[in-house]
Amino acid sequence: MAEGRVDWAASLVEELRKNFLKGKTRSYEWRVGQMRRLIQMIEEKESEIMQALSDDLCKSQIESFIQEISMAKESCKLVIKELKRWMKPEKAKTGLTTFPSSAEIVSEPVGVVLVISAWNYPFVLSLDPVIGAISAGNAVVLKPSEVSPATSSLFAKILPDYVDTSVVRVVEGSVGETTALLEQQWDKIHYTGNSKVARIVMAAAAKHLTPVVLELGGKSPVIVDSNVNLEVAAKRITVGKWGSNNGQACIAPDYIITPKSFAPKLVDALKSTLEEFYGKDPSESKDLSRIVNSNHFKRLTNLLDDEKVLDKIVYGGQRDEKHLYIAPTILLDAPEDSLIMKEEIFGPLMCIVTVDKVEDSFHVINSKPKPLAAYLFTKDKKLEKMFVSSISAGGMLINDTTLHFANPTLPFGGVGESGIGSYHGKFSFDAFSHKKGVLYRTFGGEASARYPPFTPRKQRVLRALLTGDFIGLILSLIGWSKA
């Protein structure tokens, strides 16, 4: 069976590469045509997309629309608007050593690419990299996550009706199919998920020297200064955490750091906001997603059942395994060696860590692996500058959470443990393009000094040319030497 999967995967890649080499994906018209077809798919299948997201994650229709459907559609529209400019060769400067000449940087497709997507935002995190791959002129295989089976099945059902299937394919399956795909030689692999699987992807890619984009996660911190508008801060933290797929988002706030004297006010503000947003019994709210499956439910309850944090829960903690529900939960000063402070939470649990003064937060963050996102709430411009300059993270946002993901003019990606490479907007086009340097010369402008035999005069000319000694160059050319 495994051998059969590998043969099938090899045949698929061979077919796509053959079709890619015919050159049709390179044209502007083809790329824009695919974008228009994807927009048509999103519009015509919106209700089915929403149903799949509800089946997989119990997402509300408005959350599905705002955070997945509209974002994918806007990505297509941006490509249509900007692609001609993106594809245009960039002029590059030339130097004296190549005079007379001109130069440019040409963006060309890398070839046949593999996109392995995630389950938590299974529509937009599948389609957005595919949009980038197509906009750059590549053939692409999408492998949706089997953890979100309804959305995976929907892609397999509807995508072939809208895209050019000679160069764009969907492959469903689980570990066996993914493993078979990873054994093939791709020109680029884009993976969204966790660092454990990312290491497997990177090891497989290394066998073929295949470049990768790894969109991972980590423990994204939120620093809350005591001088903030607390009501606004609490709302923005709450919607970024529990309003983002109930915390099952790579850029959702993982833990908060705040001064010890301010912590009680912050806890009260978060409690009040949670009740305002989701009611006294959040299990009855239609705006709160559920845990994706029983495995993740058990993983999260293990974090809560760690004896080191049993007395640290100050809000929430209720759970219902039958309905895959865990209440929005706040923990105060969980020990650094507890599971919840060592592992990425990826769920509705939020830890608050207290420090003596807000500047101590930087040490807390820098003592951990670099996060995908880092957030700061403050009115202090000096603290903002310190935050940006001293904290390394994939991306940052001041006085809000998660919204940087929606800005296509910013690169989205991680650093260190949180990922490699970036995408979104033109960064997606660039991620799936090879930047080819091209130098143009005519048959004029011959310089005898570049050719053997290298006489002393030629050596003086070359040395002056390569060191930028213009006076020495002129003297050498007219037969003089420096005294």
343 is catalytic: no
58 is catalytic: no
Active-site residue among 63, 68, 215, 344?
A: 215
* 333 CB neighbour count, 10 Å cutoff: 15
Active-site residue among 63, 250, 351, 417?
A: 250
Catalytic residues: 215, 250
